[in-house]
Amino acid sequence: MRIWHQSMTVLGDLPAYAAALRTRIDTVTRPDTEVVLHGFAPGTFNANYPGPDIATSYLYWLHGNQWIAAGLEAERQGFDAMVLASLPGPMLREIRTLVDIPVVGYGDTAFRLAGLYGRRFGLVFFNTEREEFWPDYIRAMGLSDSFAGIRAAGVSFQEVAAALGDPGLRAEVIARVKQTVERMVRELNVDVLVPGEMPLNLLLASEGVSSIGGATVIDGLALTFKTAEMMVDLKRGSGMMQSRRGWFHGAPDRARVAEALEFYGLDKLGAKIPGE
């Protein structure tokens, strides 16, 4: 089984994060599963990730073209599944209409499966520029009744990235996250916690933090890759795949997709997405 991993970061700019991803993925996937890490194209952001782009709707969705290109490239190269290792999973539904391989998104999977571990889930994150995005996203999933709320993690992306590269920094960064989460658990009655970005998820999981204040901490990286493996198994053994019914799930004509991508100058974008 071969799985295409896709990050919203330029992995070449974040070697410590990429190394921690590789270590953790190799730990949670099966021995016969090959995972190839992919990041955004070099130069995507004009500042250190996350930069200003995710703070506004248009630039955030404009970068969704890379997710589409990655999905098409994953299928073209013969991968069995694709994992969108970003909580919002940009263009997840659209990618699923374009390819015939399982496509698994971090947030989509974590939010849906949180109900297996508790009644109310909460989100803790460092990309506070996108705070307004999440209630609408979760409402569209039909999960508002079980969503407890959102809190800032009390740490920045830069601090999390530094801790991934320097084990000596991890205890202090994790302690600050725990302090935030413990208060959140008490005040919002949270049973399950979803770390709002993959680097934060990776830091907690790498240090074995599976519960804070009695609330289960979702290991999104393990969850998405185990789900991808399961969906490949189900496709092979039972023929199960995403629906092709209706406007949201129907597959467009492949030849027309190719024409449209060429018209908009996006037909070469997949070649710019680097892998290991």
Most distant pair of Cα atoms in the chain: their distance: 54
| Angle formed by the axes of helices 170-188 and 198-206, nearest 10° | 110
Instruction: Identify the pLDDT of residue 177.
Output: 95
What DSSP assignment string belongs to 54-96? Answer: GGSHHHHHHTHHHHHHHHHHHHHTT-SEEEE-STT-TTHHHHH
Tokens 């993959």: give the residue: 198
CATH 3.40.50.12500 fits domain 2-226:
yes
Q: How confident is the model at residue 50 (pLDDT cuts 50, 70, 90)?
A: low
DSSP run (H or E) holding 123: strand 121-125
Instruction: Label the pairing between strands 215-217 and 81-84.
Output: unpaired
**Three state DSSP letters for 14-49:** CHHHHHHHHHHHHHHCCCCCEEEEECCCCCCCCCCC
pLDDT, the chain, mean: 93
Per residue in 150-207, pLDDT (tens digit) is 999 999 888 998 999 999 999 999 999 999 999 999 999 999 999 988 899 999 999 9
Q: Using alpha carbons, select from 67, 104, 109, 80 the residue that is nearest to residue 219.
A: 109
Cα–Cα dist 113/54, whole Å: 26
| Angle formed by the axes of helices 198-206 and 15-28, nearest 10° | 60
Check residue 276 and report its DSSP letter.
-
Instruction: Identify the pLDDT of residue 52.
Output: 77
Cα–Cα dist 258/11, whole Å: 28
Mean pLDDT of 240-269: 95
Q: How confident is the model at residue 49 (pLDDT cuts 50, 70, 90)?
A: low
Residue 272, pLDDT > 70, answer: yes
Instruction: Identify the pLDDT of residue 212.
Output: 96
- Please check whether residue 168 is in contact with residue 209, taking contact to mean a CB–CB distance below 8 angstroms: no
Q: How confident is the model at residue 82 (pLDDT cuts 50, 70, 90)?
A: very high
Check residue 193 and report its DSSP letter.
E
DSSP run (H or E) holding 227: helix 220-238
Per residue in 113-150, pLDDT (tens digit) is 999 999 999 999 888 878 888 999 999 999 999 999 99
